[in-house]
């Protein structure tokens, strides 16, 4: 029995009644007063731990954490990143956002799940160093989609995720940026759900905001812009498949961030000008944002296409259009 109300008198009466019935009782508010105590538990690497310290919950938790840390390969004084360190190994598929490029910018939760993966299905923009840190037994599947080059079909990716998960292996789908920002993440979630495979989504730092930030460009700024729009440039303005209202974007006064727009930069700039944006609007291109190879190419809507060509700008690159793109770069 457990006495776990917020009233000490009630807990005492529950304990007394349990004692009269010769039933063990845990008292949640005063553990030492109970006739039984609950252990501090952990589950690490297939080992279940239970630690009791005569009702001293703080001590039992500290000993539990130290033992779990040793089993998990951490030093005894290094705290676990979260209580998830003691949870059973996850199952199914996890879609993990790897962040804008620098491997240190993946979330704590994302790194935790990656460390438990049996299979990693990685995008081209997933941080490469994270893959190098995986244990030798982890199967790594390259699901890269290279612009104008080789690409693993989305249906094939979905099938790999489902097949490996059904075989009892924990699968991490590692993506660059955030899984739901032009990452086809929801398509993969739908496929897993339809197949009855458990799926978890872990957000990531999107390159749309992370890359400009690393380059010293704020996508919003008080008194300058009250809006920021993220748009895909993988389909040219005017193309029948385009879902973007470029005229509406041209009328905006705030920041426009374009992903996958390097190859169509001239057409995009022209469409924004045709929609009403002044041709002297500042533009900055952040290439390889957050990485050692990061560089910025600047210009205006009238000049950026020529400057990008002269600088031989190549993907991955983020295009920032608006007054904030003209701010002086301050760096870290």
> Do 179 and 102 share a domain, yes or no?
yes
Question: Is the same domain home to 318 and 269?
Answer: yes
| Residue 88 included in any domain | no
Is residue 85 one of the residues assigned to a domain?
no
Domain boundaries, position 274: 208-326
Choose, from 118, 145, 152, 163, the residue flagged as catalytic: 145
Give the pLDDT confidence score for residue 146 in this predicted structure.
55
Give percent of the chain above pLDDT 90.
66
Same domain, residue pair 130 and 64: no
Q: Are residues 105 and 195 in the same domain?
A: yes
**231 lies in the same domain as 301:** yes
123, 152, 163, 279: the catalytic one is 123
pTM confidence score:
0.72
Secondary structure, 3-state, 244-266:
CCHHHHHHCCCEEEEECCHHHHH
Q: Are residues 174 and 217 in the same domain?
A: no
Each residue's pLDDT tens digit, 267-299: 999 999 999 999 999 999 999 999 999 999 999
Q: Does residue 302 sit within a domain? A: yes
Q: Are residue 171 and residue 218 in the same domain, yes or no?
A: no
Among 47, 80, 113, the domain boundary falls at 80
If asked whether residues 188 and 254 sit together in one domain, one would say no
Q: Do 322 and 256 share a structural domain?
A: yes
Q: Is residue 332 part of a domain?
A: no
309-322 tens-digit pLDDT? 999 999 999 999 99
Out of 102, 175, 178, 260, the active site residue is: 260
Last residue of a domain, one of 153, 176, 205: 205
- Identify the pLDDT of residue 26: 84
163-197: per-residue pLDDT in tens?
999 999 999 999 999 999 999 999 999 999 999 99
Whether residue 331 lies inside any domain: the answer is no
Q: Are residues 198 and 122 both part of a single domain?
A: yes
Catalytic site includes residue 260: yes
Number of folded domains in the chain? 3
Residues 123 and 164 in one domain: yes
Domain membership of residue 16 (yes or no) is yes
């Amino acid at each position: 029995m457990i006495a776990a109300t917020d009233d000490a008198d009630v807990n005492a009466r529950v304990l007394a009644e349990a004692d009269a019935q010769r039933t063990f009782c845990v008292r949640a508010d005063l553990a030492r007063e109970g006739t039984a105590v609950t252990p501090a538990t952990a589950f690490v690497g297939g080992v279940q731990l239970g630690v009791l310290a005569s009702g001293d919950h703080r001590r039992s938790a500290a000993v539990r954490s130290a033992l779990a840390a040793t089993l998990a390969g951490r030093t005894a004084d290094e705290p676990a990143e979260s209580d998830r360190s003691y949870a059973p190994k996850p199952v199914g598929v996890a879609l993990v956002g790897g962040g804008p490029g620098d491997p240190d910018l993946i979330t704590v939760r994302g790194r935790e799940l990656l460390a438990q993966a049996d299979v990693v299905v990685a995008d081209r923009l997933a941080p490469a160093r994270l893959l190098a840190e995986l244990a030798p037994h982890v199967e790594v599947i390259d699901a890269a989609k290279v612009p104008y080059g080789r690409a693993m079909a989305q249906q094939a990716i979905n099938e790999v995720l489902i097949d490996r998960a059904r075989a009892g292996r924990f699968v991490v789908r590692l993506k660059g940026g955030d899984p739901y920002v032009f990452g086809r993440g929801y398509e993969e979630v739908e496929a897993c759900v339809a197949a009855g495979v458990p799926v978890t989504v872990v957000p990531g730092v999107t390159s749309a905001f992370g890359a400009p930030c690393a380059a010293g460009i704020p996508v919003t700024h008080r008194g300058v812009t009250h809006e920021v729009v993220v748009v895909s440039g993988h389909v040219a303005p005017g193309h029948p498949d385009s879902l973007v209202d470029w005229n509406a974007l041209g009328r905006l006064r705030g920041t426009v961030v374009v992903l996958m727009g390097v190859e169509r930069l001239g057409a995009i700039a022209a469409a924004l000008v045709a929609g009403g944006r002044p041709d002297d609007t500042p533009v900055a291109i952040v290439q390889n944002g957050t990485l050692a190879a990061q560089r910025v190419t600047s210009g205006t809507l009238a000049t950026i296409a020529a400057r990008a060509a002269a600088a031989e700008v190549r993907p991955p690159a983020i295009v920032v259009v608006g007054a904030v793109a003209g701010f002086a770069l301050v760096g870290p």
